Amino acid sequence: MNEYRDLFNLDGRVALVVGAASGIGEACAHALAAFGAHAVCADLNVEGATQTAEAISSEGGGAEALQLDVTSPASVEAARARIKAPDALVITPGINVRRPLFDIDDDAFTRVVDVNLKGTFRVMREFGRGMAERGRGSIVVMSSIRGRMVEPGQSVYAATKAGVVLLASTLAAELGDRGVRVNAVAPGVTETPLTRQIKDNPEWYRAYAEKGAIRRWAQPSEIAGAVVFLVSDAASFVTGTCLFVDGGWTAVDGRFTPPL
């Protein structure tokens, strides 16, 4: 029985969380540290990453901050030289441009792809190599319900979030026999800085809340639980999958309750 209690124990492991200055990344860093991991809180916003690391340390956890720009090969290489091969890698950064497809210019397209897709790819590639050489590790990338179900104005964002799932699946296939697991998490509507535009519009906010089975928004901590699971030994036979943490959104999207 005691061995089951240890399934989520992350004592002695190093977890690199990219995007840890705020939102889901910040919550993941706190959650992984709560289960014993040493959280490396990486973000382009190093001040925010430092605040996350300091908050974890004040709670008795192990943490440090690291500046990392996923769009910069030099920045990723510098981070890899410092951290080398973490036991867990969680990649959360994402940006969005909400416009009709015809109104998205090349610069906006490139900006979203560079962060969401190419940035995720670059971090997976550089840190995944070290994990493969060592023969163990878990990588979790952040997709979205928009990787499966779209709405007007979400074309490029949706494409990138579908793309990271296939990146994760492919790397899972390539590294499965080398002890490295790779998975994606697809959050539903979650209260983060990325969704502040929606939260500031009461009608829009309420409409999204009503779309899922649970009929409310998620908090970042509710996404972090799925990440802890995928990083831990509780998910030792889980790789190449996408775990939807969406309050039932994809199960009942477009819902209508008939007068039965």
**How long, in residues, is the chain?**
260
Mean local confidence (pLDDT), 76-89? 94
Token pair in block for residue 32: 């992984």
Class of domain 2-246: alpha beta
Q: What local confidence, expressed as pLDDT, does residue 130 receive?
A: 95
Mean local confidence (pLDDT), 53-66? 97
Q: What local confidence, expressed as pLDDT, does residue 3 receive?
A: 85
Position 78, amino acid: A
Cα 176 to Cα 66: distance, rounded to the nearest angstrom:
29
Give the whole-number percent of the chain exceeding pLDDT 90: 86
Q: 155-175 vs 120-134: helix axis angle to the nearest 10?
A: 10
Q: What local confidence, expressed as pLDDT, does residue 260 receive?
A: 57
Q: What local confidence, expressed as pLDDT, does residue 193 receive?
A: 83
Cα 92 to Cα 203: distance, rounded to the nearest angstrom:
27
**Band of residue 196 on the pLDDT scale cut at 50, 70, 90:** confident
DSSP secondary structure string for all residues of 136-187: -EEEEEE--GGGTS--TT-HHHHHHHHHHHHHHHHHHHHHGGGTEEEEEEEE
Mean local confidence (pLDDT), 201-211? 89
**Band of residue 256 on the pLDDT scale cut at 50, 70, 90:** low
| Residue 1 pLDDT > 70 | no
The pTM assigned to this predicted structure is 0.95
Please provide the distance, in angstroms rounded to a whole number, between the alpha carbons at the two ends of the chain. Answer: 47
Q: What is the pLDDT of residues 95-137, one digit of tens each?
A: 999 999 999 999 999 999 999 999 999 999 999 999 999 999 9
> Widest CA span of the chain, in angstroms?
62
Give me the residue spans of the domains in the chain.
2-246
Q: What local confidence, expressed as pLDDT, does residue 258 receive?
A: 57
Q: Which of 123, 19, 23 is nearest to 39 (CA)?
A: 19
**Band of residue 199 on the pLDDT scale cut at 50, 70, 90:** confident
Catalytic residues: 157
E strand or H helix that includes residue 56: helix 46-58
Cα 82 to Cα 11: distance, rounded to the nearest angstrom:
21
Token pair in block for residue 185: 């998490």
Query: How many C-beta atoms surround the C-beta of residue 106 within 10 A?
Result: 7
Confirm if 194 and 23 have CB atoms less than 8 A apart: yes
